[in-house]
C-alpha cells in the first residue's frame, strides 16, 4: 500500500489485472490539507479503457449470475473481514486523499464494512413471493433476477462508503460492476476493489476505471452494454446522466444534492440542538449530501441558540484531519474552496448577518491546503440563495421562524429533499414533522446526518429520482422481478376467464 513517503502509481483494474490506460494518460492526486503531498498518480481513463472494462464485466456476467447467491455472499463476508483488518490504514489513506478527520474516515470505512456484511446476509435471503394461483393445479411465484453490467459513478465525499453501497447489493444479486470513482478519491476505491479480489471475486466481476467525468464517466453511463447506471453526485451532473440513460431506458438511480435543515423548536433541549447543528453543519467540513446547511430556529429561542451555536463554531479546530486534536479538515479542492468563498460574498450581498468565519485560512500550516473558517450567517431569509442552493462547505444559515407551521414551510421550500431534523420535546410536533417534512430521511432530536446501512437512503425532488440506496431498497434497484406460473393441470386454463367456474 502507498504511504506518504512513497507515492505510488495506481492503475485501472480490468478483468483481474492492474493495467495502464490505453492512452497512457495519468493525473496526480494531492492531499487537500497539504498539496505538497502527492497521494498517488492515477490513470486518466478514456472511452477505450471503459470499453475494455465493460467487455470484461460482460464476459464475467455469464458465469457470475449462475453462482448461487449464498456462495457470492461468502466472498462478501470475507471482504468485510479483510476491510476490518485494514480499517486503520484505509482510514488514514482516505484522510490523506480527501481531508476529513480520522474519526470520520474510520466511520466511512466502517460503513463499507457494515454494508458488506449486510449484503452478504442477503445472499441467503433475496426473498421472492409464493402465492396461491386463482386456478386449480397451478403454482405462482416471483423471484429476483440479476440484470447485467452495472456502471457506477461516485463522488468524493464518502469515497469508500458510497462505492460499497452500490457494489455490494449489485454483486450479491449476481450483477457485474464497472466503477468510476471521483477523480479526487480513487485511492479508497482502489482499496475496496483490491479487498474484493483478495476475498476471491472472479476476474472481471468488478472493474475499476479512474478518471474524470466527461472522459471516463460519460462513456460508462452511455455504454450500450451497461443496462444499469447508479450515480451519486451533483444534481447538475445527475441530469446529464439521466439524459444519457433515457434513450435505452436504462435502470438509472440518481442520488444528488441536498439543502438539509435542522428545526429547533422553543421547547428543544438547546444544548443538544447546538451539538447537533455543529456536527450536522461542520462535520466533513459541511461536504455531506446530508449536511445541515440550514438551521430554522423558533424566534423565542433564536437569540439564545445563535449565541451558543456561534460560540461553539468559533472553538472548532481546523487543520489536517490526521491530527487527532482537529475537528474540521479542509475543503476537497481549490474549486470547492472558491465556491464556498463565493457563497460567503453572496450571503453578505443578500443582507444576511455574518456572525463568525467567512474567510479562507492561509497562514502557517494552512498555507498549503484548502482551508476555510467555520462560517455562520444569522438573520437569513428562507429565499436567499445561501438558504436555497447547495454550498457544500462549512457555511450554515440560521433562519428565524415564527412557529412550527412556518418551520415546515421553510424546510420544504427548497428544490431538494434529502434529510431534515427537528429538535423538540413535544411528541405531537415530532410526529407532525415526521408526517409533513417532504424528505427521504427525517431525524427527531438528532442532526441530519447518521444514516445506517439497513435502512433506505435517498431523497425527494431534485435529490433523487425515486430509488433508494442501502437496505432492501438497493436490492430492488439492482434486480428485476420475474413472475413464474407453473400449471400442472394438464389442460389449458385461462386466468380471469376459467376461474369463474
Active site residues: 255, 289
Q: Which is nearer to ligand NAD, 257 or 358 (CB)?
A: 257
Please identify, among the stretches 19-27, 189-197, 236-244, 347-355, the one whose residues bind ligand NAD according to the rule CB under 6 A: 236-244
Q: Does 240 bind ligand NAD (CB under 6 A)?
A: yes
Please identify, among the stretches 10-18, 77-85, 254-262, 346-354, the one whose residues bind ligand NAD according to the rule CB under 6 A: 254-262
Q: Which is nearer to ligand NAD, 26 or 289 (CB)?
A: 289
Residue span 16-45 as binding mask against ligand NAD, x where in contact by CB under 6 A, dash where not: ------------------------------
Q: Which is nearer to ligand NAD, 102 or 474 (CB)?
A: 474
Within 443-472, the residues that bind ligand NAD by CB under 6 A are: 459, 463
Within 164-203, the residues that bind ligand NAD by CB under 6 A are: 180, 182-183
Alpha-carbon torsion, ordered 458, 163, 99, 376, to 10 deg: -10
Q: Which of 214, 351, 413, 415 binds ligand NAD (CB under 6 A)?
A: 214
Collapsing DSSP to helix, strand or coil, 221 comes out as: helix
Return the percent helix, strand and coil in the chain, to nearest 5: 40, 25, 35
For residue 203 the three cell numbers come to 476476474
Within 141-170, the residues that bind ligand NAD by CB under 6 A are: 153-158
Q: Which is nearer to ligand NAD, 223 or 308 (CB)?
A: 223
DSSP annotation of 498 reads: G
Residue 422 phi/psi, 5° resolution? -135, 135
Please identify, among the stretches 101-109, 233-241, 309-317, 352-360, the one whose residues bind ligand NAD according to the rule CB under 6 A: 233-241
Decide: 123 and 75 in contact? Cβ < 8 Å.
no
Residue span 381-420 as binding mask against ligand NAD, x where in contact by CB under 6 A, dash where not: ---------x-x-------------------------x--
> From the CB of 40, what's the least distance to ligand NAD, in Å?
17
Q: Which of 163, 227, 258, 321 binds ligand NAD (CB under 6 A)?
A: 258
How far apart (Å, rounded) are the C-alpha atoms in residues 359 and 429? Answer: 38
Alpha-carbon torsion, ordered 316, 317, 320, 326, to 10 deg: -90
Q: Which is nearer to ligand NAD, 91 or 419 (CB)?
A: 419
How far apart (Å, rounded) are the C-alpha atoms in residues 272 and 269? Answer: 5
For residue 378 the three cell numbers come to 444569522
Residues contacting residue 228 through CB under 8 Å, at least 6 positions apart:
147, 148, 149, 150, 151, 170, 175, 250, 251, 252, 477, 478
> From the CB of 233, what's the least distance to ligand NAD, in Å?
3
Q: What spatial distance separates the first Cα and last Cα of the chain, rounded to whole Å?
A: 71
Annotate 337-380 with DSSP letters as a single string.
HHHHHHHHHHHHHHT-EEEE--SEE-SGGGGGS-EE--EEEES-
Within 360-379, the residues that bind ligand NAD by CB under 6 A are: none
Beta bridge partners of 178: 151, 207
> From the CB of 153, what's the least distance to ligand NAD, in Å?
5
Q: Residue numbers of the site for ligand NAD (CB under 6 A)?
A: 153-158, 180, 182-183, 212-214, 217-218, 221, 232-234, 237, 240-241, 255-258, 289, 390, 392, 418, 459, 463
Amino acid at each position: 500500500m502507498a504511504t506518504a513517503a512513497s507515492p505510488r502509481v495506481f492503475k485501472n483494474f480490468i478483468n483481474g489485472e492492474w493495467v495502464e490506460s490505453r492512452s497512457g494518460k495519468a493525473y496526480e492526486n494531492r492531499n487537500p490539507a497539504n498539496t505538497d503531498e502527492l497521494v498517488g498518480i492515477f490513470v486518466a481513463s478514456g472511452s477505450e479503457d471503459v470499453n475494455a472494462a465493460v467487455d470484461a464485466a460482460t464476459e464475467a456476467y455469464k458465469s457470475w449470475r449462475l453462482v448461487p447467491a449464498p456462495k457470492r455472499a461468502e466472498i462478501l463476508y470475507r471482504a468485510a473481514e479483510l476491510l476490518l483488518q485494514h480499517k486503520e490504514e484505509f482510514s488514514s489513506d482516505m484522510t490523506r486523499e480527501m481531508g476529513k478527520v480520522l474519526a470520520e474516515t474510520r466511520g466511512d470505512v466502517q460503513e463499507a464494512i457494515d454494508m458488506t456484511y449486510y449484503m452478504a446476509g442477503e445472499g441467503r435471503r433475496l426473498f421472492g413471493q409464493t402465492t396461491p394461483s386463482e386456478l386449480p393445479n397451478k403454482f405462482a411465484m416471483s423471484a429476483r433476477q440479476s440484470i447485467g453490467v452495472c456502471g457506477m459513478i461516485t463522488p468524493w465525499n464518502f469515497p469508500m462508503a458510497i462505492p460499497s453501497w452500490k457494489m455490494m447489493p449489485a454483486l450479491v444479486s449476481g450483477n457485474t460492476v464497472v466503477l468510476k470513482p471521483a477523480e479526487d478519491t480513487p485511492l479508497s476505491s482502489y482499496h475496496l476493489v483490491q479487498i474484493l479480489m483478495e476475498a476471491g471475486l472472479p476476474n472481471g466481476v468488478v472493474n475499476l476505471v479512474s478518471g474524470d467525468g466527461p472522459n471516463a464517466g460519460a462513456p460508462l453511463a452511455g455504454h450500450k452494454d451497461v443496462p444499469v447506471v447508479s450515480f451519486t453526485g451533483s444534481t447538475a451532473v445527475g441530469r446529464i446522466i439521466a439524459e444519457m440513460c433515457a434513450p435505452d431506458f436504462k435502470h438509472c438511480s440518481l442520488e444528488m444534492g441536498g439543502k438539509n435543515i435542522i428545526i429547533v423548536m422553543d421547547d428543544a433541549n438547546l444544548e443538544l440542538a447546538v451539538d447537533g447543528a455543529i456536527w450536522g453543519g461542520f462535520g466533513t467540513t459541511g461536504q455531506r449530501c446530508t449536511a445541515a446547511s440550514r438551521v430554522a430556529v423558533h424566534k423565542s429561542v433564536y437569540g439564545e441558540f445563535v449565541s451558543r451555536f456561534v460560540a461553539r463554531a468559533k472553538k472548532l479546530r481546523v487543520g489536517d484531519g490526521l491530527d487527532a486534536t482537529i475537528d474540521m479538515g479542509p475543503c476537497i479542492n481549490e474549486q470547492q474552496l472558491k465556491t464556498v468563498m463565493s457563497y460567503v460574498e453572496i450571503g453578505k450581498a443578500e443582507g444576511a448577518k455574518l456572525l463568525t468565519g467567512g474567510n479562507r485560512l492561509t497562514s502557517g500550516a494552512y498555507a498549503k491546503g484548502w482551508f476555510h473558517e467555520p462560517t455562520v450567517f444569522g438573520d437569513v431569509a428562507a429565499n436567499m440563495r445561501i438558504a436555497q442552493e447547495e454550498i457544500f462547505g462549512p457555511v450554515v444559515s440560521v433562519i428565524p421562524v415564527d412557529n412550527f407551521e412556518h418551520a415546515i414551510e421553510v424546510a420544504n421550500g427548497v428544490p431538494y429533499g434529502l434529510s431534515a431534523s427537528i429538535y423538540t420535546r413535544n411528541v405531537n410536533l415530532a410526529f407532525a414533522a415526521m408526517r409533513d417534512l417532504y424528505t427521504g430521511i427525517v431525524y427527531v432530536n438528532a442532526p441530519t446526518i447518521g444514516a445506517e446501512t439497513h435502512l433506505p437512503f435517498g431523497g425527494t425532488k431534485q435529490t433523487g429520482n425515486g430509488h433508494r440506496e442501502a437496505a432492501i431498497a438497493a436490492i430492488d434497484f439492482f434486480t428485476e422481478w420475474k413472475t413464474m406460473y407453473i400449471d400442472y393441470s394438464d389442460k389449458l386454463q385461462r386466468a380471469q376467464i376459467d376461474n369463474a367456474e
